[in-house]
Amino acid sequence: MKKFNRYAIYLISLFVISLGASLSIKANLGTSPLICLPYVCSLITKFSVGEVMFVFTLIFILIQVVLLRGDFEKRQYLQLIIGTIFSFFVDFSLMLVNFVNPVGYLNQMVLLLVSCVVVAFGVLLEIQTEIVYLPADGVIVAISKVLKKEFSNVKPFVDSSMVIIAAILSLIFLGYLAGVREGTIISAIIIGPIVKVLKNHLDKYVLKLIE
């Protein structure tokens, strides 16, 4: 039963993360770092965000293999399957929140902050189940291991790098900043610390469900 709970919570975590990312798009103040680069690339290529996410799944797995080499766990190749599921969840959640259209800057900012908490909660569930990392988080975990730093301390720097790359590509190929605004920076800065806060308060409850 516990094993079933672990896998069920893991799948839930994937959907929660995709939902939070989709909410950040609807806030229209700049997408969250998790989806910023795929979102910009989807605008450039005209593919859906989920389809572009799948391509990044392959890229992120390759980065992990290069960084960890022999320490890359074989089970982490399952990220390919997980990445496919997550890509579907992204497009599905975007469809679910299609009706959400906040009016006014304050409402947009509230939705953005909600999206950050939702993403952080999903990340907490994901890393606590210890099944297979989402490819993007797998890269952060790999860098954390190489640098011997905590996940929550490394995430803001990786997220910020994704944002910078997205901004550069946006300016080069679209001629304007798409999906990159103050909300993107806010998300990059606060999601990692929110994960840490949620971990301190909810860790024991999550562990009861999966252990």
Question: Could you report the per-residue pLDDT of 54-64, keeping only the tens digit for each?
Answer: 999 999 999 99
Q: What is the DSSP letter of 71?
A: G
Can you tell me the distance from the alpha carbon of 106 to that of 185, in angstroms, rounded to the nearest whole number? 17
User: Identity (one letter) of the amino acid at 71?
Assistant: D
Question: Where do the domains of the chain lie?
Answer: 2-210
| pLDDT score recorded for residue 5 | 79
Least confident of 30-34, 113-117, 197-201: 30-34
Can you tell me the distance from the alpha carbon of 152 to that of 33, in angstroms, rounded to the nearest whole number? 14
Q: What is the DSSP letter of 78?
A: G
Tens digits of per-residue pLDDT, 144-192? Answer: 999 988 877 888 788 888 888 999 999 999 998 888 888 888 887 888 8
| pLDDT score recorded for residue 44 | 94
Start-end of H helices in 130-150: 135-147
SS3 at position 176: coil
| pLDDT score recorded for residue 2 | 58
Residue 1 has pLDDT above 60, yes or no: no
The mean pLDDT of the chain is: 88
Residue 207 has pLDDT above 80, yes or no: no
Non-local (6+) Cβ contacts of 103 within 8 A are none
Can you tell me the distance from the alpha carbon of 60 to that of 67, in angstroms, rounded to the nearest whole number? 11
Least confident of 8-12, 77-81, 113-117, 204-208: 204-208
Residue 205 has pLDDT above 80, yes or no: no
Residue 211 has pLDDT above 80, yes or no: no
